[in-house]
Amino acid sequence: MGTLDPGFTEMLSGDFYTRRLASEAGESTLVLNMGPQHPSTHGVLRVIIELDGEYILRAEPVLGYLHRMHEKMAEDRTYIQYLPNMGRVDYLHAMAWNWAYVGAVERLAGIEVPERAEYIRVIVTELNRISSHLVWWGAYLLDLGAFTPILYAFEDREIILDLLQIPTGSRLTYSYFRPGGVAYDINEEFLAGLKTFIPYMRGRLPMYRDLVTDNIILKGRLEKVGVIPLEMCRRYGATGPVVRGSGKRYDVRIAEPYSVYGRFSFDIPTHSDGDCMGRYLVRMAEIEQSLAILEQAAESIPPGPHLVKGAPKVRWKPPAGEAYFAVEGARGKIGVHLVSDGTNTPYRCKLRAPGFSNMSLFAELSRGVLLADAVAILGSLDLVIPEMDR
């Protein structure tokens, strides 16, 4: 038994972030790294936790494991070449990111979008929103110890992926929007598939409710857990189902109207409790509302071009200036701030990721909760790590 190598003891004390947190930790507490590889962090999120028994005293998220510097990439390619990046920021709701970026470019250059293209955008974005919520639902219940729901969720999501594959050619990282419209028109096969999907999905929701939502164990795990006061949402800039789960009827589709959303009648589901159950119920209700939008859009979609004449090509230059465009993504408010110097490359492209702001309240929220509840809270925030890290 020789003495330990000093390098080895240093390694045991953890990395920069662990040591930093541990230096302020109490004597009888445990500093625990949850992640970056942990089943409930869905990707590579890391949270350093100081535990007293099973209770969390402090938690510090460590980000950046999926950081790809999308904002720098924007300055390195033309406006059109940057489009595929948008499908890779948030792989679950890629359409909304497509829209936020393309919307900023259109606002910057004053590009008109044909009516049919607006309808197509609404349809694919809402379909994608449902598929995103389905993945969240299945994965969240997996976190909570229920294995079966994800099998149902993925069965239904598969139909959406098949549908979206028809106009886009891809199943996950869509790069479908173009400044001035969308890349390809939707066809009869897609519309027919959509029209059978809407009643099918409606029929599945009661089964979801019976199987999971009314389940007594689920209620025990989620009710009164992770209560986020509305004021906390505001201080952190939390949006989407998080702020709606805390009782505020705030949705970018209504608050900052864009496209043709004003023509459809749909509700903005809210819940006043602000707990994990509130956020859960808001997302489940949003699936129904997206179906309502899809139904109206599929019935009233007008004929016409899917892309404006003279739409920007690869070396296109917008005028100098700045534009901010926001859309409602599955996780909240997605914003793109573009600054142009009149060349064919963005001078600056800032991406506002809703998950970033939603996650930033976790450190405060998790103080004093059980470790098992922290898993329920993380899942209820619907985190997509590549979107937070960008």
Partner 1 sequence: MGSSVNASWLHGLDVVASAAMSREKTGLVRAVFLEPEALPEAAARLDEAGYFLEDLSVVDTSEGFLVVYHFDHFETPGRVALRVLVPHERPVVPSISGVFSGADWHERECRDFFGITFTGHPNLIPLLLPEDSDIHPLVKEESARKRLAELIPPGDVEKSSAAFEALFAPLAPPEAEAEAKEGGEGAPGSRPECAPREAKADPGGEKPSPESAS
Write out the two tokens for 142.
């997996």
Q: What binding mask, one character per residue, do residues 343-362 give for partner 1 by CB under 8 A, x or -? A: ----xx-x-x---xx--xx-
Regarding 342 and contact with partner 1 (CB under 8 A), the answer is yes
Regarding 235 and contact with partner 1 (CB under 8 A), the answer is yes
Cα(70)–Cα(262) distance, integer angstroms: 32
One residue of 273, 324, 370, 371 binding partner 1 per CB under 8 A: 324
The number of C-alpha atoms within 13 Å of 6 and in the hemisphere containing its C-beta is: 0
SS3 content of the chain, % helix, strand, coil (to 5): 50, 15, 35
Q: List the one residue out of 227, 217, 220 whose CA is nearest residue 368.
A: 227
Nearer to partner 1, 306 or 333 (CB): 333
Stretch that binds partner 1, among 114-122, 242-250, 267-275, 303-311 (CB under 8 A): 242-250
Stretch that binds partner 1, among 22-30, 247-255, 274-282, 307-315 (CB under 8 A): 247-255
Task: State the Cα torsion 110-114-116-117 to the nearest 10°.
Answer: -40
Q: How far is the CB of 348 from partner 1 (least distance, A)?
A: 5
Instruction: Confirm if 210 and 220 have CB atoms less than 8 A apart.
Output: no
Residue with tokens 């025990």: 220
Instruction: Confirm if 295 and 191 have CB atoms less than 8 A apart.
Output: no
Q: Report the run of H or E that residue 324 belongs to, with start and end.
A: strand 321-329
Regarding 250 and contact with partner 1 (CB under 8 A), the answer is yes
Nearer to partner 1, 320 or 372 (CB): 320
Task: State the Cα torsion 100-104-107-108 to the nearest 10°.
Answer: -170
Regarding 337 and contact with partner 1 (CB under 8 A), the answer is yes
One residue of 52, 223, 256, 288 binding partner 1 per CB under 8 A: 256
Regarding 255 and contact with partner 1 (CB under 8 A), the answer is yes
Regarding 20 and contact with partner 1 (CB under 8 A), the answer is yes
Count of residues engaged in binding partner 1, rule: CB under 8 A: 51
Regarding 72 and contact with partner 1 (CB under 8 A), the answer is yes
Q: How far is the CB of 161 from partner 1 (least distance, A)?
A: 30
Say which amino acid occupies 84.
Answer: P
Cα(357)–Cα(253) distance, integer angstroms: 19
Examine residue 36 and say whether the peptide bond preceding it is cis (omega within 30 degrees of 0).
yes
Q: Report the run of H or E that residue 99 belongs to, with start and end.
A: helix 94-109
Q: How far is the CB of 125 from partner 1 (least distance, A)?
A: 19
Stretch that binds partner 1, among 1-9, 44-52, 64-72, 195-203 (CB under 8 A): 64-72
List beta partners, residue 344. Answer: none
Regarding 234 and contact with partner 1 (CB under 8 A), the answer is yes
Q: What binding mask, one character per residue, do residues 81-120 give for partner 1 by CB under 8 A, x or -? A: -----------------------x--x--x----------
Regarding 15 and contact with partner 1 (CB under 8 A), the answer is yes
Regarding 63 and contact with partner 1 (CB under 8 A), the answer is yes
Residue with tokens 């089943």: 39
Angstrom CA distances, 173 to 89, 119, 168, stand at 9, 21, 10
Q: Which residues bind partner 1 (CB under 8 A)?
A: 15-17, 20, 63-64, 67, 69, 71-72, 75, 104, 107, 110, 232-238, 243, 248, 250, 255-256, 320-326, 333, 335, 337, 339-342, 347-348, 350, 352, 356-357, 360-361, 364, 389-390
